[in-house]
Every structure is written in C-alpha cells, then in structure tokens.
Structure 1
Amino acid sequence: MRLHLTLKDLPMATSAELYQLSWVIEQLLADPRRIVQARSHLHLGQQVQYFNWDDGKQRAARVVSVKHHRVTVQDEASGRHVSLPYAAISVEVAATANAGDTAHEASELAPPPEVGRREDFRVGQRVSFIDRDLQHRIGLIVRINQQTATLDCDGQSWRVAFSLLRHIVDA
C-alpha cells in the first residue's frame, strides 16, 4: 500500500494511514546523516530553540550535553533539563549578507552528507570525523573492522563507524 496524502487530506486520513505516515517520518528522522548534520551545528552552551511536545510551542534553551542520538538542553524559562532527539532542535543560522534573503531561506540547511560505507575506506587512508564531544579529529586508518574502522589519532586509538568518517583530500 502506497501512502498518497497531502496536508489538506490529513484530517480525513484513516488511523492506519496516519500510523504509516508516522513510521515513514520516524525513519527519516533516525537517518544517521541527519543526526551527524544536526550535531555538527551544535556546541555546549549554545542558545537554541526546541519544540516542546507538551504544549506544541518553541521554547528557548541552552545546550548542556550532546550524546549519540540525543541532546540535553536547559529550558530558559523553567531551568529544567530536557533530553531531546536532534530533530526537536532549531539552530538559528546567521542571516547572509544578501539583503534579499528571507529568514526562511537563511535557515535552510544543506542536504545531509553521503554516508560512508566499509568499501569506501582502506588501511593507510587519512580520514576525519567529529567525536562525541563535537571535536574535529583527523587520523590514519590502521584496521578495517566489520562495522568500524580503527584509527590512530595523535597516538590515541579510536573505533569509528564508517558513516561518521570523511575522506581528506590533500590540497
């Protein structure tokens, strides 16, 4: 069964169609490329907006912790910590210098980067990745495992998923 609904059709959709639509949306939000892209725009202490599921409104918050699939923010109004998926966060993107740009155009993000696969990497290649503390790391692949590559980064050993690795092009 293929789901063909427009926004105006949603109120008339069956529960099964809405459930199927929610599954599709969950799959898109869980895409590692989207998570990596969202994480790359966040840092500790950053001022952000988040969608509050309880009242359906955007709220101001500050980033206090960044994890693999979730970010913890401190709500500015209540002071409480809230753990959220990355999709709930809105990061204010600085407006460009062009006076004709609208706020909507300035806040649009580029498409998610391509996800690396095991076949894309070889022992001896120099690669980069963003670690769990959002620090940019560069290392040399010393071993290819089933789901990760073992890297040497300044004397430290790191096991990194292929989807997080980026090739370095010497210029």
Structure 2
Amino acid sequence: MTPDTLEALHRSRSVDLYHLTLVLDRLLSDPRRILEVRTQLHVGQAVRFVDHRSNTAELAMRSGRVVDLQDRHAVVRDDALRQNWKLPYVAIEPGPVDPGERADEPPPTPPPKPTRESFRAGDRVSFDDRHLQPRIGVITRVNAQTATIDCDGQRWRVSFQLLRHVRDV
C-alpha cells in the first residue's frame, strides 16, 4: 500500500472506514476468489502468505508449506518459525509449481468392511476379543447383525465387521 493511500485512510471518517471494511469483507469472502486460490494449492506445496501478526503498515510476507486444506482455511507450516498457521485462502500466494514437486499421494482406500454376505456357517474366522486377544473359531450360526462363533468350546457373538477369514495354508 502506498504512503499516500495510508495517509488518506488516516484522514477518513470512522464511518467511511467501517463501510470500507464491510465492502472488503464481502470481496474477500467471495467463493470465486477463494476457489481461485484453492484450486492452485496442494499439500506439500511451497507458498508465501501474509503475516497478519506484523505490526507494520508494510505488507509482511512469510514462506511456508501447505500442511492441510480445509473448507475455508488452509494450514501452512512456516519455514522459519516451524509453526502452523491457519490462514484464509485469500491470504496465501501460491508459489510457482516445480515439476519435481508434487502433492503427497492420498492414502490407499481401505478394503470394504465385511458384511453378512461375506460369511457362511462353517467358515473358519478370527477376531480380537474385548481384551484384544486373538480368537480363532468356526461360525455356527449367522444372524442379522452378528455371527455366533465356536472358539475352543466357548460361544461368541461377533459383529461381521470385526471378523476376518482364516485361510488354510
């Protein structure tokens, strides 16, 4: 911001400054403006961002890397201070994208949870009991939401999502 602009703002009436604040808030919260920045960002990307903690009238920029992308904010890790900053997208300036720099790969999708259709009476299965001890047994009955398992003479009712098939090798 130029010194002339700052001086003009100092001379302005409080009502005019408040009106200017309302207009700027509307402009900064415009979804198109947010999407413009967000579409250029990915996790791990080097960026520059506005240091809102700076007490000077000058625009203070810091550099960091994107840690997380949220709905209206991004979390950026400051390179110098090693601190995370939660910033609105409009306060972030995406850096040039290096060809060698790429986003962290998303974690692989977990396999689907087993359902009732995955098991039949007579199947050999394993599960962890309430004390986290592994148990191996045979399904004796299939109910609507649980299976009855015979493990060493004990009967257990276990949800299908906790069961794992045991394969003989």
User: What TM-score comes out, normalization by structure 1 length?
Assistant: 0.49
Q: Which has the larger radius of gyration?
A: 2
User: What TM-score comes out, normalization by structure 2 length?
Assistant: 0.50
